[in-house]
A and B are shown apart, each in its own frame.
Chain A
Amino acid sequence: MSEATPREIPRIVTSRWDVDDGFTLERYEATGGYAALRKALDTMTPAQVGEEVKAASLLGRGGAGFPAGVKWGFCPPGVFPRYLVVNGDESEPGTYKDRLLMERDPHQLIEGVLLAAYAIGCGQAFLYVRGEMALAQERIAGALNDAYAAGYVGRNIMGSEFSIDVVLHWGAGAYIVGEETALIESLEGNRGMPRLKPPFFPAAKGLYLQPTVVNNVETLSNLPWIVANGGGAFAELGAEKSTGTRLFAVSGHVNSPGVFEVEFGVTTFRDLLYGKEYGDGIRDGNKLKAFIPGGASAPWFFEEHLDLPLEAGAVGAAGSMLGSGAIVVMDETTDAVKAAWRLVRFFARESCGKCTPCREGTAWLEKLLRRMLDGQGRPGDVDKLMDVCDNISPQITWPPKQTTICPLGPSVVSPIASAVLRFKDEFAAYCGGDAEVTVAIGGKAYLSQPTQPEQPEPAEAPA
């Protein structure tokens, strides 16, 4: 139980969110913008910039949480050109942070792109923005035009020999394109379907089969601060393996939904859901039923998980993930079957169709749940649901086992197993009273039990 209020921390990526013109070059320059780039170009070698990022232990903020500095190091030596691709295709249900970073502080992202490209040795970068985000595209286009004209992007940046073209690219509506090899396919003009692995990382063979680093918007937005203040200063914030600050979007049944920058690894779910300056408690004084700790793909958490810190290791050990920083809160009025169905429909709709377990499995799960909600559920349906889940991801473990090229299909198991195992009675009510599960379950969070309220010692039974 964390008693202390979170300590005062610097706002690393949200420092310009409160000002209306935070997206302009003038405001960016007036508030320390492009100073980190100048520092790097004037005083640091590319390798030194990479070392700072490694020292910061910056974990990727896209969902998988892979250390950014390590990812950069996977580029094979001596193979050029290398490309940098920015993943701005934010679409995981509940996730809302990259859009804000792109709309409100596009120059910070561009400076992050430049620092990464300088360190890795990329002569071209592509900013892949989700198609539906017209304002973000406008802000980035404007920022890039200004940055080119001011000499921050393009040929011989700030008079140095560092040159790079940054291209604004935008998608056209497909969640799967957030998977990095699908993103690359899309950027090559193809249908956005993930590539067969290996190679596991596009750093070996990515865009045009050249070494390619794909980083998330929030990840790169941290770089100007890290280079300006040092990787060590960043690593001092947060927990040992979850350093710095992180953005969390708290949505659903809280009094005060919002996107909050908090110290990573230290703040707890309880702080974020109930803290006055954050979610401010459950609406209407209702009780918490469940919450999603890291986007639609994450196993649900419950009351007994509230005191876990927002730390990748601790959340992973408890059987879920922080994923993309999307916390969705459901109060006691929520229909668990309905919520599970809506999440499953998402995966069914967004499956690219390449792998059979995902294409067929997600569609059948959606149909089964829809049938229940339509009042046509039958005894045995719940076990059938779990059986299909077991086929998509054997043993329903966490992290999920994969029968598919990418994690989209196995992700569908999370909402179903979470809801079925915790709220069996609700499913039984839709299925003629039967919600028996015979399939073996491996995932820890799915099997979590409610904490028992403290009971007074039962009185001695009369003899």
Chain B
Amino acid sequence: MARFSPENITLAHEIIDRYPVARSAMIPLLHLAQEQDGYVSDEAMTHIAELVDATPAEVLGTCSFYEMFKREPVGEYLVNVCTNISCLLTGGEELLEQLEEKLGVKAGSTTPDGKFTLEDVECIAACTEAPCLQVNYRYFHKVSHDQVEELLDDLSLGRLAHEVPKHGTLSRVRQQAAPERRARVARPTVNVEPVWLARNNTGTTT
């Protein structure tokens, strides 16, 4: 689809500025691209390469390692059903089968109307609330057979729009600090002992 929009270029520079080495911003920038377009396009990866001083191939290398990055558009709602051990023991597979039947697609595919993509995922850290699933990375705990239909209806009708943002949006709060509040420590190449460690030599705290 596209390179970063002007607003996102500003955001990208803010993100890069947090790190001592620009390349460390690669994963956050891939998320930003996915937030903008719903997936990570080739153009976005080229743009990221320019921003963090890497080659497009290196950005693709990183992008393709991580499961959350989609290089093709996915459904409006990405439904990730956990079937790992705690969920397996408490009905996770049955939950997945029910969703496959309801949506008419197998895990790993998208409904023809582009509304839902269904995935069979590994442990998502809600084991005591099994069986569980995520929709666009928002949790739904102890999902019963009866709740599935309601959940799909609510999503289809946009009733959960305030809880479940569009695919690609993770934290809706961005880290921000006033420039004068930033510590701005030395770059990795500059060997300077932090001033407060001098307290160890004097044995005093003032």
Contact = CB atoms under 8 A, between A and B. Distances in A.
A42 interface: yes
B127 A96 contact: yes
Given A259-B128, A342-B84, A349-B122, A78 B184 contact: no
B112 to A, nearest CB: 26
A463 to B, nearest CB: 53
B1 interface: no
Given A171-B27, A257-B130, A134 B21 contact: no
B175 A121 contact: no
B85 A92 contact: no
Interface stretch (A144-152, A194-202, A429-437, A450-458): A144-152
B57 interface: no
A166 B153 CA distance: 41
A80 B31 contact: no
A187 B170 CA distance: 18
Interface string B43-68: 00000000010100000011001111
B30 A124 contact: no
B197 A46 contact: yes
Interface footprint category on B = 35 or more
Chain B binding surface SS class: loop
Contacts of B169: 134
A352 B67 CA distance: 12
A241 to B, nearest CB: 27
B191 interface: yes
Interface string A118-141: 100111100000111111011001
Interface in A291-341: 292, 296, 326, 328-330, 334, 338-339
A24 interface: no
A171 B139 CA distance: 17
Given A94-B86, A138-B172, A174-B65, A149 B191 contact: no
A172 B85 contact: no
Nearest to A144: B175
Contact of A189 (B24, B129, B137, B204): B24
Interface string B63-98: 001111100000000001001111011100000000
Contact of A188 (B24, B84, B197): B24
A79 B19 contact: no
Contacts of B25: 189
Contacts of A92: 123
B6 interface: no
Interface residues of A, number: 92
Interface in B170-206: 170-178, 180-186, 188, 190-197, 199-200, 203-205
Given A145-B177, A161-B196, A292 B124 contact: no
Interface string B129-150: 1100010111100000000000
B114 interface: no
A271 to B, nearest CB: 17
A379 interface: no
A118 to B, nearest CB: 7
A187 B199 CA distance: 31
B163 to A, nearest CB: 10
Contact of B134 (A95, A132, A174, A253): A132
Interface in A207-257: 207-210, 249-253, 257
B20 interface: yes
A122 B84 CA distance: 38
Given A45-B205, A175-B122, A190-B62, A165 B184 contact: yes
Interface of B: 18-21, 23-28, 30-31, 52, 54, 61-62, 65-69, 80, 83-86, 88-90, 122-130, 134, 136-139, 169-178, 180-186, 188, 190-197, 199-200, 203-205
6 contacts: A78-B193, A81-B191, A135-B139, A138-B173, A173-B69, A252-B86
The 5 closest A-B pairs by CB, nearest first: A123-B185, A189-B26, A172-B66, A173-B67, A137-B171
